[in-house]
């Protein structure tokens, strides 16, 4: 009897090719689309059409309540706290590898699968399945998967793990005459399709423009801002300040409603803490551990030493790194293996 897998279907080329590959490997594939908003959208329609084309069952499951609770509400709260969140990490943790896995169990599935560019395989050193970087280079998505439950690693499939570029995926889609072969990638936050997160926050929360001072690190007022939520660490454009050297956002003073700016040199950080830690390899961090660290999805891996301090982990870089941003995640690696990570404080 074939193993049964519940595959997250978005109606895009990645998840559609993942379905083809899983079928080729002999799995009984069931497609599922997570309805994350109240309105019907093209994701549901396109996913259903693709499943019909591939002759596999398809379900649409309404998780809009959970999505609002775990992703949208968190997104708003983080910006209120002058932090810059990554909503994909929360969605993966609670929705795609949380409630979707529970649905897989209800449907009698042995695995869940997605079109993520990441890899899970058995590692001799750790004697268990581990989450690893895929072969896709800059498109690797292991960074946004560190927060999943480690107990699920034996039950997750990533069919796209060994592909090095998107064109290879599109070539397979063309080979199988998939209608989505040339469908453009979606790069915006899924619940903010126009990319204007400030407008979204103003429409969906009590955040409003509130003028305050832009100050340098010595407290000198250099200009005015229109709301702390409109700025993020490392931002240079849109400050409206004329100064002798380029200035960047380096921090906030929420109690005084101030945006703090500084020179590029002041953007570099040697050490910081992470909270809400999730570990995939170890039960805990014992003593000092040398690891590679990514501080954002697009950042290169930098070497650091991590230690446990109560409910947080302290990170000390070998060399200072630029724009360490509260609210983003720091993900720890042993080579290409994900150790775990947490939210930057």
Give a yes or no: residue 134 inside a domain: yes
Does residue 246 sit in the same domain as residue 272? no
Return d(Cα 44, Cα 334) in angstroms, integer.
Answer: 38
Alpha carbon 95 to chain centroid distance?
12
Same domain, 41 and 102: yes
> What pLDDT is recorded for position 38?
65
DSSP letter string, 218-241: T--EEEEES-GGG--TT--TT---
Q: What is the largest CA-CA distance in the chain?
A: 71
Domain check: are 248 and 277 in the same one?
A: no
Structure tokens at 29: 């594939």
The residue among 194 and 42 whose pLDDT is bigger is 194
Same domain, 26 and 165: yes
Question: What's the pLDDT at 121?
Answer: 97
155 and 275 part of one domain: no
Query: Could you list the residue range(s) of the whole structural domain that residue 32 is in?
Result: 4-175
- The answer to whether residue 292 is domain-embedded is yes
Question: Residue 247: pLDDT above 70?
Answer: yes
pLDDT per residue as tens digits for the range 313-326: 999 999 999 999 99
CATH number, position 133: 3.40.50.620
Residue indicated by tokens 């903010």: 192
Q: Which tens digit of pLDDT belongs to each residue from 277-325?
A: 999 999 999 999 999 999 999 999 999 999 999 999 999 999 999 999 9
Q: Are residues 257 and 292 in the same domain?
A: no
289 SS3 class:
strand
Which residues are tagged catalytic?
91, 190
* Residue 1: pLDDT over 90: no
The domain that contains 324 carries what CATH number?
2.40.30.10
157/243 same-domain check = no
Q: What is the pLDDT of residue 249?
A: 98
Give the CATH number, domain containing residue 228: 2.30.30.280
Q: How far apart are CA 310 and CA 335, in angstroms?
A: 26
Overall average pLDDT of the 250-269 stretch = 97
**pLDDT value for 41:** 65
For strands 28-35 and 58-62, give the pairing.
parallel
In a domain, 26, yes or no: yes
Q: What is the pLDDT of residues 132-179, one digit of tens each?
A: 999 999 999 999 999 999 999 999 999 999 999 999 999 999 999 999
> What is the per-residue pLDDT across 206-244, written as a single tens digit (0 to 9) for each?
999 999 999 999 999 999 999 999 999 999 999 999 899
pLDDT given at position 226 = 94
**Across all residues in the chain, what is the average pLDDT?**
95
Cα separation, 180 vs 170, in Å, equals 9
Q: What are phi and psi of 338, to 5 degrees?
A: -80, 120
**Is the same domain home to 152 and 71?**
yes
What's the number of domains the chain is made of?
A: 3
Within a domain: 196: no
pLDDT tens-place string over residues 52-111:
999 999 999 999 999 999 999 999 999 999 999 999 999 999 999 999 999 999 999 999
Residues 257 and 315 in one domain: no
Domain boundary among 262, 287, 307: 262
Helix and strand tally (H, E) in the chain? Answer: 8, 17
CA 46/CA 37 separation, integer angstroms? 16
């Amino acid at each position: 009897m074939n193993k049964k897998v519940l595959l997250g279907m978005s109606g895009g080329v990645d998840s559609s090719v993942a379905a083809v590959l899983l079928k080729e490997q002999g799995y009984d594939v069931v497609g599922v689309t997570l309805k994350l908003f109240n309105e019907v959208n093209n994701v549901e329609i396109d996913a259903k059409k693709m499943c019909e084309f591939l002759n596999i069952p398809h379900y649409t499951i309404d998780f809009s309540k959970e999505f609002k609770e775990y992703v949208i509400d968190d997104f708003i709260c983080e910006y209120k706290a002058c932090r810059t969140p990554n909503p994909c990490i929360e969605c993966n943790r609670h929705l795609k590898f949380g409630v979707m896995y529970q649905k897989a169990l209800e449907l009698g599935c042995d695995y869940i699968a997605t079109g993520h560019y990441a890899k899970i395989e058995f590692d001799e050193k750790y004697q268990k399945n581990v989450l690893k970087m895929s072969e896709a280079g800059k498109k690797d998505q292991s960074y946004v998967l560190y927060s999943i439950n480690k107990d699920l690693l034996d039950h997750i499939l990533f069919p796209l793990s060994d592909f090095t570029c998107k064109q290879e995926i599109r070539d397979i889609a063309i080979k199988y005459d998939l209608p989505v072969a040339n469908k453009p990638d979606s790069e915006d936050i899924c619940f903010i399709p126009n990319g204007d997160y400030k407008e979204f926050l103003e429409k969906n929360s009590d955040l409003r423009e509130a003028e305050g001072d832009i100050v340098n690190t010595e407290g000198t007022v250099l200009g005015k801002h229109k709301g702390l939520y409109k700025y993020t660490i490392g931002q240079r454009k849109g400050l409206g300040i004329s100064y002798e050297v380029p200035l960047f956002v380096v921090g906030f003073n929420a109690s005084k409603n101030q945006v703090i700016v500084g020179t590029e040199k002041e953007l570099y950080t040697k050490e910081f803490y992470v909270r809400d830690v999730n570990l995939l390899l170890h039960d805990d961090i014992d003593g000092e551990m040398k690891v590679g660290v990514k501080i954002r999805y697009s950042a290169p891996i930098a070497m650091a030493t991590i230690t446990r301090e109560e409910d947080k982990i302290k990170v000390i870089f070998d060399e200072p790194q630029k724009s360490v941003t509260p609210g983003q995640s720091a993900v720890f690696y042993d080579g290409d293996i994900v150790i775990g990570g947490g939210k930057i404080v």
